[in-house]
Each structure stands twice: as C-alpha cells, then as structure tokens.
Amino acid sequence: MIFDEDKPKKPAGHEVGCDLSALSSDELQARIMLLQAEIERIEAERIRKETGKLAADNFFKPKV
C-alpha cells in the first residue's frame, strides 16, 4: 500500500539555477508569475526601507 507521504513532492517554489528542461510551458509560466510576485514584494520592501531612511535622515539633519 502506497501512502501520499511516500510520493515525491514537487518543490513549492523556484531554486535559482535549477534545471528547467523537464518543466512544461504551463509550469514555466507559473514559475515566472511566482518570481514576478516575489520581485514586486522585494521592491516594495526596498521602497519601504528607503522611505524610512529618508525620514530618519530628515529628522536628524542638523538645523542651521
């Protein structure tokens, strides 16, 4: 008897540099969408941090 736990599971994400030759066109498109969403998430965090740094720099800027 084979249980679901015994079946190999596909990785949920994408590993940079992994072999793509065994993936279908639909699987490649899904990975592209996954990576685009991750880029947007990272970009939003970068902007949030830059905004916070700019606010701190302005707050602590010496008054002349």
- pLDDT reported for residue 12: 66
- pLDDT reported for residue 7: 67
> What is the rounded CA–CA span in Å between residue 36 and residue 60?
36
Which letter, b or e, does each residue of 25-53 get, where b requires 16 or more Cβ atoms within 10 Å of its Cβ? Answer: eeeeeeeeeeeeeeeeeeeeeeeeeeeee
pTM for the model stands at: 0.67
pLDDT digits (tens, 9 = 90+) for 30-39: 999 999 999 9
| Domain chopping of the chain, boundaries | 23-64
